[in-house]
Amino acid sequence: MRNSWIHVHEGRTARQARVGVADLNEEHYSRGGFFGPVSMLYHGRKPADPVRVEGPISIAVALLGAMTFDDESNPSGLPTEMLANDELTIALSHRAVATPHLVRNVDADTLYFIHEGVGVVATEFGPIEYEPEDLILIPKGTTYRHMPTTPTTAKVVESVAPIEFTEHRQIGRHSPIDFGVLGIPKITEYDWPEQDEWELKLKHGTEITSAFYAELPFDLVGWKGDLFPFKLNLRDIRPLTSERIHLAPSSWSILESASFMCVPFLPMSVVSDPEAEELPTRHRNVDADEVILIRRVNGNPVNALGHFPQGMTHGPAAAERDAYAAVHEPGMQRMLEGLSIDSYRRLRRTPAFEAALPSAKTDRT
C-alpha cells in the first residue's frame, strides 16, 4: 500500500486527527483498512445515515437466533455459508453432535471462532479442547473432526490464501500475544468405538469427495515442524491501546491472509485524554467489507453477524456521539465485543444471510 509524507491541508481541519476536533465533523477516508493512504474529511454538517438505500449494497445485521443452520439437524451437514467470494468464505456452524466423518479442507485454511459451547476439535496432531472465544486455526490439508460436548456455535472462515499472524513490528515478541499462550495439540490415541469404515470428506470449495478407510487414519506417533493446528483464546490477547488517541481497529488485527484481516474487539479502557475522540470516526473503509460477529454490547449478550460493505459510510451518528460525550470519563470500558473479518474484496451475501435479516440495523463498528 502506497504511503507518503506529503499530507496536504485545505480549509478548516484539526491539527491532530482524532483529537480536539471541536465542532468539526471528522470522517476517516483511507485505503488498506486504516493504515494506508488517508485523508481526514471535515464535514459541515453533523453525521447522518442515508434516509434510503437502493441497490445491492447495504449495511445489514443478521440475527443468529433466527437462523436455521445446515449442520444443526444434520450431523453430516456443513457450516452454513453467509458471505463469500472466490478467496474467502464466512460461514456459521451450530452443531450439537460430533460429525460422523473426518474433514480435510484441500482448498483453504480454516479458522473457527467459538461463539458458544465447549468441545473438541480432534485432529490427526491431537485433540484441541475448545471454549468460547477460542480461535482455532486448522491449516489447509489437516484432517480433523468436530466433536461438541455442548451445542456449539462458531464463525467458520475459509481462506484460500494462507492465514498468518499479523506482524506488529517494533513492539517486541510478547505483545499483543506471547506465542507461549497458544494451545498446541499433543499426540493422543483416540478411544472412539470401532467402525466398519471411516469416511474422510475432502472439501474443495462447495464440492465434497469422500475417501473411506478401513481403520481410523489418526495414527500418528509423533510430529515436528511449523505446520500444525492450534488455538488462541481472546483473553490471552493483550490489546494495544493508547491513553491519548483511539487506535483504529486495523491495529488490533491478530491474524491475516492476503484476503482479509481478523480483528478482535476486546474489552479495553477508553482513551483518557478528554480531547481525544473515543468513538470510532465515521469511515467508509473503502478496501474492506467488515463482517463482525457481535458477542456483547455494553456487557449484554448479542447474537448477530453484521455486514458493513466497503465504501458505505458508517460509525456512530450525531446523537450517539453527543450522548457518549456526556458520560465519557477515563477508566470506562469499550462497549463492543466480537470478532471482525475484514475482507479486502467484496463479499456476496448468501440466501442464508438474507433470510436471517431483521428490519433493525446497527452502524456501531
**Distance between CA 65 and CA 352 in Å, rounded?**
13
Min dist CB 118 to Fe ion, Å, is: 31
Of 59 and 121, the one with the shorter C-beta distance to Fe ion is 59
Nearer to Fe ion, 87 or 290 (CB): 290
Per-residue binding string, Fe ion, 283-302, x by CB under 5 A, is -------x------------
CB-wise, 134 or 290, nearer to Fe ion?
A: 290
Min CB(364)–Fe ion separation in Å:
9
What is the rounded distance in angstroms from the CA atom of residue 69 to the CA atom of residue 25?
42
Minimum distance from residue 248 beta carbon to Fe ion (Å):
9
Residue 250 lies near Fe ion (rule: CB under 5 A): no
Please choose, from the candidates 100, 19, 151, 56, the residue with its C-alpha nearest in 3D space to the C-alpha of residue 349: 56
Minimum gap (Å) between residue 110 Cβ and Fe ion: 25
Q: How far is the CB of 327 from Fe ion (least distance, A)?
A: 22
Alpha-carbon dihedral sign for residues 170, 175, 176, 177? positive
CB-based closest residue to Fe ion = 365
Q: Is the peptide bond before 176 cis (omega within 30 degrees of 0)?
A: yes
| 277 vs 290, beta carbon nearer Fe ion | 290
Give the nearest distance from C-beta 21 to Fe ion in angstroms: 18
For Fe ion, give the closer residue by CB, 34 or 125: 34
Q: Which is nearer to Fe ion, 233 or 365 (CB)?
A: 365
- Total binding residues toward Fe ion, as defined by CB under 5 A: 2
Report in angstroms how near the CB of residue 268 gets to Fe ion at its nearest.
17
The two most distant CA atoms of the chain are separated, in Å, by: 76
Whether the Cβ atoms of residue 353 and residue 82 lie closer than 8 Å to each other? yes
Within 10 A of 61 (CB to CB), how many other CB atoms are there?
21
Task: Indicate the residue among 146 and 321 with the shorter CB distance to Fe ion.
Answer: 321
What would the x/- binding string for Fe ion be over residues 336 to 365, using CB under 5 A?
Answer: -----------------------------x
Give the shortest CB-280-to-Fe ion separation in angstroms: 7
Closer to Fe ion by Cβ: residue 250 or 365: 365
Instruction: Please give the residue ranges that form the binding site for Fe ion (CB under 5 A).
Output: 290, 365
